[in-house]
Structure 1
Amino acid sequence: MFHYQAPLDEFDFVAHKVLRLPKLLSHLPEHRHVSPGLIRATLEVAAELAQELLNLSPPTLHERSAVEEGLANTYRVFHENGWPRLSRERAEGGLGFPRAACTFFNEMLASSNLAFSSLAKSREEIIECIQRSDDERVRTTYRTRLTNGEWLGTLCLREPQAGCNLERVSSTATLQMDGTYLLSGTKVAMVDCTQDMVENTVHLVLAREQECADTKPATLCLFAVPKYLESGELNGVSVSSLSPRTTGASDSTCTLQFQRAKGHLVGDLQRCIAVIRPKLCRTQLALGIQAVGLAETTYQNALRLTQDCYRVPELSWMVHPEPVARPALNSIDIKVSLAQLRLFIEPTRLLCTWVSTLLDLAEGASDLQNRGQASQLLEQLAPIVESYVLEESTKRIAAALPLASSISAEIRWGMERLVTESALSKIIYESSTRSQGLHSTAERSSPLTEMNGLALALRSQLQQHPAFEEQMASTLNRWVDEMEHLASHIQLTYELTRDLRSLITADSQQLMGTILFGYLWAWIATAAITSGEFSDSKPALARLYFSEAECLIPILVDRLRRCGARLSQLSQVKVC
């Protein structure tokens, strides 16, 4: 049976003992009304909501209709109690909670029902784009209803024949006399669009604008297309195919057919790139939060299933005529799988909460210096959030799935979905910049620049944490030195061609992620020792992480040092 218990004590520890959230909130005028007690009380109620969502994940599609009804009822409660407005600014009618508190809330949603969590994430992404539109009518029509949760939304960027190649997008939008557009084409959405949980759904559609039916479509633009028109009539949007999963409602890939569907222009793609790039980090952050939620669910269910299991040691019959079974948790392979999950979950939860807080500081800090420092640190942490977190979660969760066999299908589907969304967001951004003749991410920053930037950021952060255990601080400083020397060596020895950059990207991201996670574990261990909370478990896990990283980092450094030889050898390999 599916099991999940919201880790409220862990949330408290990260927020108040590690990040010291109340001190950070003092720099944010928009969030000063939010006290630690209010955050705790809100999360306790959210935990009850997560428990309700937990019951909406049936093992078969035979119960799908019942689940859809339950999901609609749960969303009604979700909307009536103001949860969609939790993270929105009070000026927009929101509750003005800091992103850190919303990180914990979103993790609980992902842990209990990823499909429901994805609906909420899509709505937030559409609001980010729509509120930057120049058209006051678009902002008035869509933003308010999306913000308060009356409407939901879907992202319709891909096409079946084009995938993520924006140059092959064939959907068109024809300008009408009243300033609206008629859209035609086929799009793919990552959620089930057949349900009527809310009174309307807004599709954010990528299409080529044309001034009239006779002109050749050229400019790629984003359009807001409602499912129902203001008159209540059904718009020209229909579902042509649905690829359902076996994990409940709203977890399907949906192909939509737009047949002269009426919509409004949000903005051309070149203008929206200014939204897409900052949103790329936020999208990857949201996916990272969902990955933590899936990992936490996997851990809790694996632990629960193995606690009551016993295993007969192999070959014990040769020593004892009557073998004695021992608890499965005493088996080293099971202990390793569970420990590896904890080694991922705790620093990733801290990283996501930290990045969320930095986003708040970069946008709303009263002191311009704090804004600048937060923005600079965000730039260094972004590559880890965008690449390392999901790749690492895939490996750790896959290793533990055999221990949680009763929910393995759902977790496996969830990871497939997150990895797909992560890849799509990056590819679409890269494709959009190329199609508009702009510099792509790879051309704008190299792995060597990112390594040097992270090293500089970690040195600054280590100076701010003099209370770190001496051995951990010494090890971290040595790792940072090795990373800086490695970046200098590659830069002086090799010409950083496109092929070489592609070859070293994966290893450099793993190296940066491993070192950053070491810093996060040192931070967690120090907070545990200082506060006396989790003082038995977290420092021991931190020492285990440092022991394993000491084995991994030299391997990564050696691979990167030999990148030129590896590239030369690969060029001589014939693959066909």
Structure 2
Amino acid sequence: MGSYIPPLRDMQFVMHELLNVEAELQAMPAHAEIDADTINAVIEEAGKFASEVIFPLNQSGDQEGCHWNDTVVTTPKGYKEAYQQYVEAGWPSLSCDPAYGGQGLPISLNNALYEMLNSANIAWTMYPGLSHGAYEALHAHGTDELKNTYLAKLASGEWTGTMCLTEPHCGTDLGILRTKADPQDDGSYKITGTKIFISSGEHDMAENIIHLVLARLPGAPTGTKGISLFVVPKFLPNADGSVGARNPVSCGSIEHKMGIHSNSTCVINLDGALGWMVGEPNKGLQAMFVMMNAARLGVGMQGLGLTEISYQNARNYAKERIQMRALSGAKHPEKEADPILVHPDVRRMLLTQRAYAEGARAFTYWIALQIDRELSHPDESVRKEAADLVALLTPIVKAFITDNAFECTNHGVQVYGGHGFIAEWGMEQYVRDARITQIYEGTNGVQALDLLGRKILSDMGAKMKKFGEQVRSFVEEHGVDAKMQEFINPLGDIAVKVEKLTMEIGMKAMTNQDEVGAASVPYQRVVGHMVFAYFWARMAKVALEKESTDDFYKAKLATARFYFAKLLPETAGYIRQARAGNATLADMKDEWF
């Protein structure tokens, strides 16, 4: 089964030494009272829950899976009880609005909680994770009546939530969805249709499930401009907040999947189920995007969590497993062979995992801080800039980190060798679980297209320039520091290359939009590396100031050097791919495939 130890030291390094979250948060009236001690106490307790309560259920839950019987879904042994502990401890309400029973703590803290939950048990974590997204969508776009009915129950964790978008004939292309919403005289709607791939769509862990459903009103415009959003509860709430009559929304079946076995992925049938509109008619996607973007950031955290847990166990195994001698001579002559940690290729795989995990932690914690600034900073211009940066970089969080996670979990299997391929060791589960993160909430190809087409070229690179200014400012500030040259020079170089590549693709796109699609995936890898290079250079700056005091900082510098020497150079190949254009794709006629 392996083990999981919450990486508290590195989490605290990122929060306090790299991002200075205490001062950042105290500049926001909503969080003026928070301090480092509070932050540390919360993540330490969260780490205990993750490692002691849900991690022991991860492998058994994967093996048992969920069970469906005549619309009823049963989760694996121990899942319901663990969820009750989660609710009783108040974890669902951590960053929710105090007006609805929340604790009002920052998103930054909630983000750290979810990193550890995802490392410990990604499938279990999807139940409360999706609930938080439903809460955010209703909080942003629900009427006062809807907020008063649902938010306190979602914040407490008594009720859970889902997002119902995909239908059998449409996934990413929501413009062709067919679910119907017929208005009733009392202001409600009868929702009829079938949704598929609905994570946590039915289960036995909470007394009610709140579905956020996309559907069409009669006579609605075609395409995405004719989609509305509705809240559809499994049980209709009574006036006193208790659950009432069963709504005709049911689980027709659950999927038998490659991974995340212990999360119920459901076919949801709506047979005239009562629903209430969220937001304005025919503008449901705008409201749902709150939940979709939260989910995309959440999937990035899944990628980080899986990278970290795979690294921890691969590292532990490499220290203990003896096999052959080091090429340069025996390192442990007292043993019959050396630990595989001495072999360069094993070290390469472990350092790849470590560099991607620690880079993702710095990046995603910074993103969470930007969300806090967007929501709570008193200066409107700061809020606007933070919102632009989050919008720009959400595709990188989702796609770059999860692509890395799949690579890294495969490295974890490889370090174990044959044992990694055997289920009892637990490593192959991380590969299977990681694979879905590249697919759902918008495939990584769609994320790449969103980054290049919608987030960068659509506004002539305005948002990209804002992030580029931060990179350029850092390069200029530390460019004269001799100790920083090994980090500053490659960071400055990749920043210039991204700027040139963006202009080149933009010029091609003026005559052929397919050039955007052809370049988007390699382009996303290049930009992702620029982002990671920026955060690794910043972490190296902190570590250089303190390396003489603690081996932690020496290890941080060693990992930074590995990243710049071994991982960042892959951008050269991706730049060539992006520049190769659409011709070699278009030359292949459809009938030749």
TM-score by length of 2: 0.85
1:460 aligns with 2:473: yes
CA distance, structure 1, for counterparts of residue 381 and residue 525 of structure 2: 31
1:41 aligns with 2:41: yes
1:554 aligns with 2:572: yes
Q: CA deviation at 1:15?
A: 0.6
Query: Which of 502, 506, 510 in structure 1 is aligned with 2:521?
Result: 506
For the 8 Å contact 2:292–2:441, the answer to whether it is kept is: no
1:441 aligns with 2:442: no
Q: CA deviation at 1:78?
A: 1.0
What secondary structure, in the 3-state scheme, does the structure 1 residue paired with 2:245 have? Answer: coil
CA distance, structure 1, for counterparts of residue 121 and residue 460 of structure 2: 36
Greater Cα shift, 23-32 or 248-257: 248-257
The aligned counterpart of 1:358 is 370
CA distance, structure 1, for counterparts of residue 570 and residue 129 of structure 2: 35
CA distance, structure 2, for counterparts of residue 539 and residue 189 of structure 1: 43
The aligned counterpart of 1:484 is 499
The aligned counterpart of 1:185 is 193
Distance 1:40 1:486, change over 3 A: same
Distance 1:276 1:462, change over 3 A: farther
What secondary structure, in the 3-state scheme, does the structure 2 residue paired with 1:497 have? Answer: coil
The aligned counterpart of 1:25 is 25
Query: Which of 157, 170, 180 in structure 2 is aligned with 1:162?
Result: 170
2:17 alignment partner AA: K
CA distance, structure 2, for counterparts of residue 356 and residue 161 of structure 1: 35
2:427 alignment partner AA: S
For 1:402-447, what per-residue CA distance to the aligned partner results, in whole angstroms no more than 9, with x for missing partners? Answer: 335222342123212222223269969999xxxxxxxx83796389
The aligned counterpart of 1:537 is 555
Distance 1:219 1:537, change over 3 A: same
1:223 aligns with 2:236: no
Query: Which of 115, 118, 121 in structure 2 is aligned with 1:110?
Result: 118
CA distance, structure 1, for counterparts of residue 318 and residue 530 of structure 2: 32
Distance 1:28 1:572, change over 3 A: same
CA distance, structure 2, for counterparts of residue 183 and residue 39 of structure 1: 43
Distance 1:264 1:297, change over 3 A: same
For the 8 Å contact 1:284–1:385, the answer to whether it is kept is: yes
Distance 1:428 1:137, change over 3 A: farther
1:370 aligns with 2:382: yes
The aligned counterpart of 1:522 is 537
> After superposition, where does 1:190-229 map in structure 2 within 5 Å?
190-210=198-218, 219-229=226-236
1:7 aligns with 2:20: no
The aligned counterpart of 1:53 is 54
For 1:152-171, what per-residue CA distance to the aligned partner results, in whole angstroms no more than 9, with x for missing partners? Answer: 01111111233333243222
For the 8 Å contact 1:244–1:251, the answer to whether it is kept is: no
Distance 1:425 1:258, change over 3 A: farther
CA distance, structure 2, for counterparts of residue 428 and residue 469 of structure 1: 33
The aligned counterpart of 1:256 is 268
1:146 alignment partner AA: L
1:325 aligns with 2:337: yes
> After superposition, where does 1:227-238 map in structure 2 within 5 Å?
227-230=234-237, 232-238=244-250
Query: Which of 412, 417, 421 in structure 1 is aligned with 2:436?
Result: 417
Greater Cα shift, 461-470 or 151-160: 461-470
For 1:256-295, what per-residue CA distance to the aligned partner results, in whole angstroms no more than 9, with x for missing partners? Answer: 2212222212135753333444555433221111111011
Q: CA deviation at 1:298?
A: 0.6
Distance 1:225 1:334, change over 3 A: same
1:473 aligns with 2:488: yes
1:34 alignment partner AA: I
The aligned counterpart of 1:436 is none
- Paired residues in the alignment total 556
The aligned counterpart of 1:434 is none
Segments of 5+ residues of structure 2 without an aligned counterpart are 68-73, 239-243, 329-334
CA distance, structure 1, for counterparts of residue 7 and residue 234 of structure 2: 38
For the 8 Å contact 2:122–2:260, the answer to whether it is kept is: no
Segments of 5+ residues of structure 1 without an aligned counterpart are 213-217, 317-322, 432-439
Query: What RMSD over aligned residues (CA atoms) do the two structures have, in Å?
Result: 3.3
Query: Which of 93, 97, 102 in structure 2 is aligned with 1:89?
Result: 97
Greater Cα shift, 282-291 or 525-534: 525-534
What secondary structure, in the 3-state scheme, does the structure 1 residue paired with 2:246 have? Answer: coil
CA distance, structure 2, for counterparts of residue 41 and residue 442 of structure 1: 37
For the 8 Å contact 1:57–1:113, the answer to whether it is kept is: yes
Greater Cα shift, 273-282 or 202-211: 273-282
For the 8 Å contact 2:297–2:397, the answer to whether it is kept is: yes
Q: CA deviation at 1:230?
A: 3.0
CA distance, structure 2, for counterparts of residue 550 and residue 230 of structure 1: 53
1:159 alignment partner AA: E
What secondary structure, in the 3-state scheme, does the structure 1 residue paired with 2:523 have? Answer: helix
CA distance, structure 1, for counterparts of residue 405 and residue 156 of structure 2: 32
Query: Which of 413, 419, 430 in structure 2 is aligned with 1:401?
Result: 413
2:374 alignment partner AA: A
CA distance, structure 1, for counterparts of residue 568 and residue 141 of structure 2: 49
Distance 1:167 1:425, change over 3 A: farther
Residue identity over aligned pairs, in percent, reads 26
1:541 alignment partner AA: T
TM-score by length of 1: 0.87
Q: CA deviation at 1:530?
A: 2.1
For the 8 Å contact 2:326–2:342, the answer to whether it is kept is: no
Q: CA deviation at 1:132?
A: 3.3
2:471 alignment partner AA: L
For the 8 Å contact 1:183–1:258, the answer to whether it is kept is: yes
Distance 1:368 1:409, change over 3 A: same
